[in-house]
Amino acid sequence: MPSFGQVDQRLESKLKDLYKLHKERSAKIDWSYHEFLPLVRKARLPDIPNDPQQAWDRRDVFESNVLALDPTFQRKLTPEIYLAVETAILTEVNLPWFTTELHNTFKGSLQVLVDFVRTWTSEEDQHGVLLDTYLLLTDNGDAWQRHKNRKLVTEGGFETGLQTPLETMVYTSIQERATMVFYLNVAQACESMDAGLARVLRRLARDETLHYTFYRDVTKAHLEMNPNLVEMVTEVMLKFEMPGVGMPDYAHRMDIISKHAHYGPAEFYTQVIDELMKYWDIRNLQPTYPKAREAQLKALQHHERLGRIAQRQMRERQKLTAPSLEEVMDESNWHVSNEGKNGQARRLTVDSNGHVAEAR
């Protein structure tokens, strides 16, 4: 499908406009990772001595002053949240490989895409550094083991196997959206234990949002021009895997993150795939090629299958957090049948208005 996945030259002006809009938006939120780190500053800590002869251990200052001044700050993350942040780092370290693949795929296509990849790389470059440094300064996790994991993942490399610019943009639309959702949901999960980390994750999500928007809109423009490209979109969607899939214990990590950090199959469906299916209007496309129409049907079936998986996971989560009305009634009725022999206890039922009532 190499020729089928090339960029439509008629959309060059549209892509230039999208890139210009991205540059304008990113310029308004330009940032440096040091702004989000828990650094010790004299302006904030006036009791730090100015005498250069007096040696201060940085960790002692951090612990005795920063933590004391900010009682809401909790240095230690739960193991589950730490694992989620480390997983994000081990995903971000694939940047050199991801950049190489994007550049090679876009090379020879429109120059605006090559320019965007360079801009994208410069904006992504801070993400892994910020997260790793934050964990280091707050003394979370095993820094040496984290280093070994980073090295292992980076040495392993990463390839999507995609061959054409449009395939890559479909993949990156999904990947950037998933990363954005991941950061926002983990931020929500860690807000009460470390508001600083939650702020960091939300900041990273803003970058991912801008990147996702560019790739998403380029894909949409091509689908509007040629609905038969739904065949390519479906193929990429069905084979999608995140860049971090090669990290140690990936499946175990994602299972823990799903249960404790608000990101799993349910969120991937409701906040990623469902959003893209709607935005690209997959259901209402009018492809003319038979294979494209078959692919459109496959995409819709895949969407429905993910929806069923999401519903099942949400039910499982609900059981872990709170029993359903039926379960509450069954539990009560079980006790009635075993302990209510004196005739005073009554079985529970649901009335016509959906309210719990005693059976007469």
Residues 6+ apart with CB under 8 A from 275: 177
What pLDDT, on a 0 to 100 scale, did the predictor assign at position 42? 43
Mean pLDDT taken over the chain = 83
Residue with the larger pLDDT of the pair 74 and 303: 303
d(CA 275, CA 324): 29
Number of H helices, E strands in the chain: 15, 2
Average pLDDT over residues 46-68: 47
The total domain count for the chain is 1
CATH code for the domain in which residue 188 is found: 1.10.620.20
- For the segment 247-278, what is each residue's pLDDT rounded down to a tens digit? 888 999 999 999 899 899 999 999 999 999 99
Average pLDDT over residues 308-330: 65
Three-state SS at 29:
coil
- For the segment 5-40, what is each residue's pLDDT rounded down to a tens digit? 789 999 999 999 999 999 999 999 899 998 898 875
What pLDDT, on a 0 to 100 scale, did the predictor assign at position 352? 46
What pLDDT, on a 0 to 100 scale, did the predictor assign at position 248? 85
Instruction: Look at residues 223, 214, 194, 224 and name the one whose alpha carbon lies nearest to residue 73.
Output: 194
Find the domain containing 286 and state its range: 29-41+68-321
Burial bucket for residue 183 (CB in 10 Å: 0-12, 13-18, 19+): buried
pTM for this entry: 0.79
Band of residue 163 on the pLDDT scale cut at 50, 70, 90: confident
Question: Is the pLDDT assigned to residue 202 strictly greater than 90?
Answer: yes
Quick check: is 230 in a domain?
yes
CB 302 within 8 A of CB 238: yes
Quick check: is 356 in a domain?
no
Quick check: is 89 in a domain?
yes
Weakest mean pLDDT among 219-233, 280-294, 339-353 = 339-353
CB 130 within 8 A of CB 199: no
What pLDDT, on a 0 to 100 scale, did the predictor assign at position 244? 78
What pLDDT, on a 0 to 100 scale, did the predictor assign at position 178? 96
Quick check: is 330 in a domain?
no
> Which phi and psi (to 5°) does residue 337 adopt?
-70, -25
Question: Is the pLDDT assigned to residue 160 strictly greater than 90?
Answer: no
Quick check: is 24 in a domain?
no
- Write down the residue that tokens 């995609």 correspond to: 162
Cα 58 → chain centroid: 33
Residues 6+ apart with CB under 8 A from 111: none
CA atoms within 13 A on the CB side of 51: 4
Weakest mean pLDDT among 266-270, 291-295, 314-318, 349-353 = 349-353
